């Protein structure tokens, strides 16, 4: 039996005003508090982090994460958020999400700098990796994911991170990977990290699946040997669905 934690993280993306974020957390926080054997992380927009942290208080088991950050501590970087700014509000930060890579053209080199900066300032990265449909159909899954992980962890001595496998072709499309595909790729991720840091580190690494996760399919993922949780998108901003995903992850 794995001693790795079960982790369910909700990426709210560009949804909710501050008032809507507070309302959403109010709807789900009491229900989520009853689940003791799962690590729950929610990642609201930057503008809501302060209010949501205040609402949750110090004793709440729900953890906060940011959806992104810049790699510098401060400077003339208009519109960016630094790891220092996030320290007071959250413990986690999503880095390398496919939407950042695809829409905002974030490169592996940029993601590497963000991972280093997050670790330097005490934030735990949720590093997202994954292939697009053409790369999967072209048999390049291992090449793509190995390249993403190797570059992101370049210069990192001991990776205190989570890795989220996000097949780009399954994000926001309603077309989730099967449990078999997700677990096969999670094993690949673990093997890549093992080559870099050794078996003990790779076996302790929490690997999440992200890509159209919902209450109907979460059990197929969470029951697999090398999948330790999920990075949930659209369903994370629907209180009932997110609570049900957490509930089923505990029961599986």
Which residues belong to the active site? 97, 166
Rounded to whole angstroms, how far apart are CA atoms 134 and 130?
A: 12
In the block, which residue shows the tokens 């930060």?
A: 93
To the nearest 10°, the Cα dihedral for 94, 100, 106, 108?
A: 50
Residues in the chain: 252
| Contacts of residue 102, Cβ cutoff 8 Å, sequence gap at least 6 | 168
Look at residue 28 and give its three-state secondary structure: helix
Strands (E), 67-185: 92-95, 124-129, 162-165
């Amino acid at each position: 039996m794995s001693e790795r934690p079960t982790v369910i993280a909700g990426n709210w993306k560009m949804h909710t005003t501050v008032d809507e974020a507070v309302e959403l957390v109010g709807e789900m926080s009491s229900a989520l508090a009853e689940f003791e054997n799962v690590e729950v992380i929610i990642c609201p927009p930057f503008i809501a982090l302060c209010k949501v942290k205040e609402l949750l208080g110090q004793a709440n088991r729900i953890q906060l994460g940011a959806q992104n950050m810049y790699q510098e501590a401060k400077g003339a970087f208009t519109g960016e958020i630094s790891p220092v700014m996030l320290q007071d509000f959250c413990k986690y930060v999503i880095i390398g999400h496919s939407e950042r890579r695809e829409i905002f053209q974030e490169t592996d080199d940029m993601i590497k700098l963000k991972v280093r900066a997050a670790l330097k300032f005490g934030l735990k990265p949720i590093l997202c990796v994954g292939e697009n449909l053409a790369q999967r159909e072209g048999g390049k899954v291992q090449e793509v994911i190995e390249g993403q992980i190797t570059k992101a962890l370049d210069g990192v001595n001991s990776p205190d991170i989570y890795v989220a496998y996000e097949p780009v072709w399954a994000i926001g499309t309603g077309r989730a990977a099967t449990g078999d595909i997700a677990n096969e790729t999670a094993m690949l991720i673990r093997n890549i990290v093992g080559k870099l840091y050794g078996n003990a580190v790779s076996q302790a690494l929490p690997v999440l699946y992200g890509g159209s996760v919902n209450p109907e399919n979460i059990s197929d993922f969470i029951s697999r040997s090398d999948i330790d949780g999920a990075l949930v998108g659209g369903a994370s901003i629907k209180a009932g669905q997110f609570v049900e995903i957490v509930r089923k992850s505990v029961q599986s």
